[in-house]
Structure 1
Amino acid sequence: MVESKGTTASGGLFSAMHFLERYWVPLRERWLSVADLRFHILLLGLGTLLVLIVPQGRDVVATLADSWSPDNASAGWLAFWERTRPWWWFLVAVTALGLQSWLWARLLIHVRYRNVPTWRRDKVLVLLPRILGVVPFAAAAVALWKVKQGAYLFPQGLTLALLGVCAYLFYWKRYAIIAALSTWSTARQLFSHELPFWQLTRAELTVLVLSLATSLTSLFWISFDPVTLPGLIGSAALAFLGFALVIPPVSVLIAMTTQQRFPVLTALCLVAFMVSGAVDNHDIRTLKAPAPPRASLKDAFDRWVAQAPRDPADPTIVPMVFVSAAGGASRAGIWTSATLQHLDREKPDFNRSVFAISAVSGGALGAVDYVASITADHGDDPRARAEFGSRYASSDFLAPAIGGFFYTDLAQRFVPLAVFGDRSWSIERGFEVSWDRECAKAGGLARCEGLMSGRFLDLWSGTTQAWRPNLLLVGTVEEDGRRIVTSNLALLEQGPGNWSHPLLPNSYDFFDISEKAIRTSTAVMNSARFTWISPAGSLRFRGAVVGHVIDGGYFESSGADTSVDLMTAITPLAQDLCDTKKICVRPIFLTLINDEITDAVGDVSYDPCQPLASGLSVNGGLAPTERTRPIAKPRSRANDLIAPLVGLFSTQDSRAEVTLARLARQNAFPLPAGCGGASRRAGSARPVPEIRLVPCRMPADRAMAMSWVLSAPTRKRVQDQLNALHLRSGTLAATTRCRLGQQLEMARLAAALGIPKTSPEAVVADSVHP
């Protein structure tokens, strides 16, 4: 028995050794033979993942595809070139990345094996550079084919695939191709390693010089103007060109140190790490002027009451709307701006009912867009404001961020002095330039240009009498996780002597810390520091860094927490007004969530007698029912490693859902007759209307990505949904459950605002039980 065990153990050990000898050792030797190409493999692998898997990368590719969309159709060759220009630049960028990948991989193979005459017999060494050279074409083609909707997707993907085939043929038959165009000797002079200069060929030396010249020119240009060049060639082309321009200098460094086996990449990372610790170019931009005085909460409340519309049925009631704008980059920006502008069209004095907008991340862009358009327009034309705001929120803000990442921010990591603006500065300049560009097109707005580049608090100044809602733009402090709010309201309450405390629990007032005026674009960025796209902003108090501001979504993703806390702070003022002047406030929470609900055509009815348990939603609207068990698929693979990170990001949405669930439980929704008594209500005895508007998506539709650029069909889908929603509609005409929920939410908002003949009960009775 013992002998048998020993034999089995020996057999198992022998099998393991045999496996290692047969598979692992050759595999390791093969990897070591091409280890100099690890940078190319890593870079191309990262690029492939970005365009194939990451939603933001997929949406950038979708934007390229949509440049040919009928939604972008315009007459004339000049207009055609203007809308398709990013596509042509993308072809150039993919070709450049493919050429650079092949050429410099071939150089590194030659440098290592130039003294081994037989290396060309190794098919892997010969074929691998060619394969790397066609990876960009293949990744781009597959990314286009994976786009669910778009015009001419197959021809565009086929074009890239055919370019990849042509590129491979060139890499393979380059001598013959060039010889056919000139002479064989010319081909050998271009691609044979005859120059002693770093063992480069003439072609490699030419490409290196051109690449370095292009990189330096681009760096110089973007360091002064981070918008024009990125806007000219587009986000996707800029990213691929950035990858292409990084390859030559890194490849030359690897080639120069091959014999010494110096760890070039590790050394570069160490240099960047040390410089980053000594140089900080991520300061939050401030102006030299001190922050001007801001209105107290009481003064703002009194001014709002003086102009706010009353409930037509009861003039002693003043509907007070608190808007919460959730985060989500450009998709949140356009959903927030377009929805508020649409409500202004439906009810021209709607903005006068809105006391404040609490916004997070991309929602901050939409909120500022909305308020700034009122300032620019003097509040006279909701339709003109809506068209302007939609165009602005649809701008490409991602291209300046990519330009900042690949050029100024990347270069700064190796320069021991803070000489370059960071990518947050690039995005802010994108906010400013795009705003002024749309102003130039608008023409009819009285005071438009310079609002994004001007002082944030100037949005509430000027001669216009139109009411502009207060803004609370929520960011997060990295070091302690508390929110930091940039607002036109003073958010500290003064007590006796020098004592003061925040009006919102455990929050910081940005202006109280910075004590400096800031641009409007910077106020947006204080909330919208989208993860990795924007760096953490260094927050200074009288010269010293006291923290770093990151995206507001880390604190909570919807803005609802801040709206609820603001209402809590106002409650004593509202109670005093009700007691003394018999004017009572009716708080209304309007939450704009940009995460789409996947919809389907089918049974659109629900049980009005069971609104809190409805399969459609809570209260017949779009608030999801509270779950009794998790619905997400549990993770098991590498969960020990990724659980903390996944859990961290999941809590962002969970915190918002808890607040929204509390609001839903307080909501009032009178039950129709026949449900056990007309006096019964779903919700608490002291209801607070909470309305939730969410975009709908059919299963075949392409999802809106959380990116700083959105495609034209996506923008059109948002606007088409809003155009179908009306505050004064009498009956419901929805054919899908999500669209029904949208219409019910609009009916509930109309009832809360006191618009006659739009009670939810009447709408439900007419539509569900005709």
Structure 2
Amino acid sequence: MPNDNKPGTVIQRTWWRIRDLYHELKPCRFSVIVALIAWPVFVSVAQGTEILRSVGEGTAIGGWELLRIFVFFSALMLWAITSWYAARVLLYFDFPAQRGVARSKFAETHVPRILGIMPILIVGWGFVVAARSYDPTATAHRWLLGFAVLCIVLAIVFYLLVALRRRFLGAMRTQQVRHASQLEPGTIIGLGVMALVAIALFIAFTVASVSIAQRLGAGSILFLAAASWVVFGGFFVFLGSRWQFPVITVVVLLALLFSLWNDNHLIRLVPRQEVKRADVLASFQKWYDLIEKNYGADKMHPLYIVATEGGGIRAAYWTAIVLGALQDANPNFAPHLFAISGVSGGSLGAAAFDALLAEPTTASLKFKDKAHAILGQDFLSPALASMFYPDLVQRFIPFPIPYFDRGRSLEMGWEKAWRDTMGNDRFAQSFVDLWKPNPDSREWMPALFLNGTSVEKGNRIITSNLRLTNIFLDADDAADKLSNRRLDATKNACHIPLSTAAHMSARFTFVSPAGRFPDGSHIVDGGYFENSGATTAYEIATRIKDWCAFKKITNVDVKVIMISNDPRKPPIGPAKPQPELPGPKHTKSLLVQGQFMGELTAPLYALLNTRNARGTYAQKAIGREQRRFKAGVVEAPPDSEAAELKTRDIVYFKLRDTKVPLPLGWMLSAAAARTIREQINQDDEVVQNQSAAKEVLANLPPARPSP
């Protein structure tokens, strides 16, 4: 009996109508699901907002490209068309489970149209949110608001075209069908074209994920992925409804089952070489002998250790800019730089700087400019292309296919950026090659300590050219996990590409997967343990200072350079927690806060915020240790001496918030990159980067004039 004729109360009748409407519209649920997923991605998630910002600003390398803007909106319209068309076609069918359900012609007509304009309106609102993060006087603010208006116009035009299409195309099918063969040829062709486009994108992003993805851009890739999900999700809905079998549930259960065997995120290896790894003390002795030989035995020699914190591309770019600017100002900086301890993006910046030092023609090399050219490229698009196409398909295959790994695409993006800029494959070559002696190599190359986190144990896994000893408390040597533990410890090394070495520390949440070692254990971003790199730097500095005291070496002055990239981070000099910095708050804070379901979310928020708190603690601890060492006393000086941290023993480089938000993902906009570069020479009430650079350079021997 139809619900309209059944006796019942108003509430019952209303519920019956809602239930019938749900069953009637259930076939087009994938269009709804994808739109609901897209809403927080473009409105609430920082990396989604950054993608829209890049549309308003252009990328750091290449600027504001009209072609990419055209592709962006074309892909958005393809998603809109797919969302509408898939819903419309599925509502043509008279599935067995729907027979006897009261149908609403109004809903069948207008719901697909609403689903068609939802993607456009979601992105339009995302543009509004992105514009709010800028100062109103910024050019990008106006462009983003303009794109938001364009989205509204496109949504209106799209709705009108769909509503009025019958007038232009003539009478179209209005009756329902029970079999796919009863669909009109035009409908079948349209669905076939959509499926072929999705398959073609899968092949393209599998074969050439970096080059094709960078041409399309991250936003276009997300839209194309959404369209593909709607197409294939709708196909599974059709099969399940036609067969009256839970196809989607079975597919999800198979994916969960296959996850036991299909982990394809293997850490890439390169052929093993004969190497002999020194430890920190042996490396220090080599450094000391070279410094005495080249700069005189009767002089005080500064020894610099860098601790650079994590923060995605912002950290990578800022780290390379700071170190590159110091090297450009005085080539004697690198010979006095003993080691760099990096986390996440900071490790990528450190690896890029060391790789530049390994180039044979560094005398004429502009380090800061090369760092900009390499790290200003779009690394997010290749990762997303692999994430939503080959690596997503991998979840439904019972055996691993390493070629589908999205982490591999990110590494290849870094390799391509280096190759396009420098004309060689150093970033794709072995990590140990940076320190391999050859006629063109430097006498001294700074050591790298790239900090990752163990999934199984939660402790540090450090990727380094030096052998880890017991001075690194509760830390695993990546070389031991990568190679055969039966080898002598001095012969173990990290035989992996340089790009993979950087990625070992920079396995960003979700965008980069956990890397799998040959023994089946996993490594994730170093920021999960602590995000500053100061813990490892502290252990290196303490060991060298203790050794100098034991050997009565009095002409080595150990100094620490800390590179921070979080514009919202309070000063770390004073011991007590400090209030937020003055000025604008355009960059999203790394701290996670919220009131919704506090009893459930409070532990999660605490865990997420702990990683940054541990980093700040480590930075303050190394600062106190430096002051104690300089004072020649056992106990640290009182907190009133915190002002000393601004000079001499600890040198800080940091970023401040400006009119332009500074992103955290793997892509820099043009304005963000320019803002970061400009801050290297800035001194104000928040940052003292120019003074910090002068402090470092003042301790170095004068640069020799060019011949």
> Which amino acid in 1 is paired with 2:620?
A
Match of 1:145 in 2: 128
**Alignment size in residue pairs:** 655
Q: In the aligned structure 2, how far is the partner of 1:98 from the partner of 1:377?
A: 52
Match of 2:441 in 1: 464
Match of 1:689 in 2: 649
Alpha carbons 2:504, 2:523 under 8 Å: kept: yes
Q: Which has the higher contact order (CA 8 A, sep 6+)?
A: 2
User: Partner of 1:356: helix, strand, or coil?
Assistant: strand
Match of 1:536 in 2: 514
> Which amino acid in 1 is paired with 2:383?
A
Distance 1:36 1:194, change over 3 A: closer
Distance 1:230 1:312, change over 3 A: same
> Which amino acid in 2 is paired with 1:392?
I
What is the TM-score when the length of structure 1 is the normalising length? Answer: 0.78
User: Partner of 2:272: helix, strand, or coil?
Assistant: coil
> Which amino acid in 1 is paired with 2:613?
S
Match of 1:709 in 2: 667
Does 2:548 match 1:589?
Answer: no
Does 2:193 match 1:216?
Answer: no
Q: From the CA coordinates, give the structure whose radius of gyration is larger.
A: 1
Match of 1:402 in 2: 384
Q: In the aligned structure 1, how far is the partner of 2:122 from the partner of 2:643?
A: 54
User: Partner of 1:289: helix, strand, or coil?
Assistant: coil
Distance 1:685 1:410, change over 3 A: closer
Which aligned runs of 4 or more in structure 1 are off by greater than 6 angstroms? Answer: 17-20, 22-25, 113-120, 191-195, 309-314, 628-634, 684-688
Distance 1:112 1:458, change over 3 A: same
Q: In the aligned structure 2, how far is the partner of 1:708 from the partner of 1:398?
A: 5
Match of 1:390 in 2: 372
Indicate which of 644, 648, 659 corresponds to 2:603.
644
Alpha carbons 1:324, 1:358 under 8 Å: kept: yes
Q: In the aligned structure 2, how far is the partner of 1:48 from the partner of 1:685?
A: 48
Q: In the aligned structure 2, how far is the partner of 1:551 from the partner of 1:243?
A: 28
Alpha carbons 2:305, 2:559 under 8 Å: kept: yes
The more displaced of 242-251 and 17-26 is 17-26
> Which amino acid in 2 is paired with 1:470?
A
Alpha carbons 1:424, 1:535 under 8 Å: kept: yes
* CA deviation map 1:156-190 (0-9, x unaligned): 3333322222211122112223x3xxxx25xx37x
Distance 1:55 1:634, change over 3 A: closer
Question: Shift of the alpha carbon at 1:67?
Answer: 2.5
Question: Shift of the alpha carbon at 1:204?
Answer: 3.7
Does 2:278 match 1:295?
Answer: yes
Q: How does 1:36-47 map to 2 (within 5 A)?
A: 36-47=27-38
Q: In the aligned structure 2, how far is the partner of 1:472 from the partner of 1:551?
A: 14
Q: How does 1:195-594 map to 2 (within 5 A)?
A: 196-197=179-180, 200-289=183-272, 292-308=275-291, 315-382=298-365, 384-419=366-401, 420-440=403-423, 449-461=424-436, 462=438, 463-465=440-442, 467-492=444-469, 502-515=470-483, 517-540=495-518, 544-545=519-520, 547-577=521-551, 579=552, 582-594=553-565
* CA deviation map 1:479-521 (0-9, x unaligned): 11011111111114xxxxxxxxx44111111112212611111
Q: In the aligned structure 1, how far is the partner of 2:547 from the partner of 2:181?
A: 76
Q: In the aligned structure 2, how far is the partner of 1:19 from the partner of 1:472?
A: 70
Unmatched segments (≥5 aa) in structure 1: 1-16, 74-79, 441-448, 493-501, 599-615, 670-678, 726-733, 757-770
User: Partner of 2:150: helix, strand, or coil?
Assistant: helix
Indicate which of 685, 689, 695 corresponds to 1:737.
685
Q: In the aligned structure 2, how far is the partner of 1:554 from the partner of 1:291?
A: 33
* CA deviation map 1:714-763 (0-9, x unaligned): 000111111x25xxxxxxxx5x4114x4345445545665899xxxxxxx
Question: Shift of the alpha carbon at 1:643?
Answer: 2.3
Distance 1:574 1:311, change over 3 A: farther
The more displaced of 225-234 and 457-466 is 457-466
> Which amino acid in 1 is paired with 2:670?
A
> Which amino acid in 2 is paired with 1:453?
A
Indicate which of 146, 158, 161 corresponds to 2:152.
161
Alpha carbons 1:597, 1:738 under 8 Å: kept: no
Alpha carbons 2:93, 2:178 under 8 Å: kept: no
Q: In the aligned structure 2, how far is the partner of 1:377 from the partner of 1:199?
A: 69
Q: In the aligned structure 1, how far is the partner of 2:592 from the partner of 2:435?
A: 48
Q: In the aligned structure 1, how far is the partner of 2:251 from the partner of 2:547?
A: 59
* CA deviation map 1:689-720 (0-9, x unaligned): 1222111113xx23212110010110001111
Distance 1:752 1:481, change over 3 A: farther
* CA deviation map 1:179-225 (0-9, x unaligned): 3xxxx25xx37x98779426544344223322332232332333232
> Which amino acid in 2 is paired with 1:66?
E
Distance 1:467 1:26, change over 3 A: farther
Does 2:119 match 1:136?
Answer: yes
Q: In the aligned structure 2, how far is the partner of 1:342 from the partner of 1:479?
A: 39
Alpha carbons 1:378, 1:464 under 8 Å: kept: no
Alpha carbons 1:309, 1:352 under 8 Å: kept: no
> Which amino acid in 2 is paired with 1:459?
L
Distance 1:628 1:430, change over 3 A: closer
Seq. identity, % = 25
> Which amino acid in 2 is paired with 1:656?
G
Question: Shift of the alpha carbon at 1:34?
Answer: 2.7
Q: In the aligned structure 1, how far is the partner of 2:106 from the partner of 2:575?
A: 60
Distance 1:121 1:513, change over 3 A: closer
Q: In the aligned structure 1, how far is the partner of 2:616 from the partner of 2:472?
A: 19
Distance 1:503 1:680, change over 3 A: closer
User: Partner of 1:323: helix, strand, or coil?
Assistant: strand
The more displaced of 557-566 and 742-751 is 742-751
Coordinate RMSD, CA, aligned: 3.5
Q: In the aligned structure 2, how far is the partner of 1:706 from the partner of 1:310?
A: 43
Match of 2:577 in 1: 627
* CA deviation map 1:578-603 (0-9, x unaligned): x1xx44322211111110148xxxxx
User: Partner of 1:320: helix, strand, or coil?
Assistant: strand
> Which amino acid in 2 is paired with 1:702?
V
Alpha carbons 1:667, 1:688 under 8 Å: kept: no
Q: In the aligned structure 2, how far is the partner of 1:407 from the partner of 1:84?
A: 26
Q: In the aligned structure 1, how far is the partner of 2:237 from the partner of 2:640?
A: 73
Match of 2:43 in 1: 52
Q: In the aligned structure 2, how far is the partner of 1:270 from the partner of 1:409?
A: 17
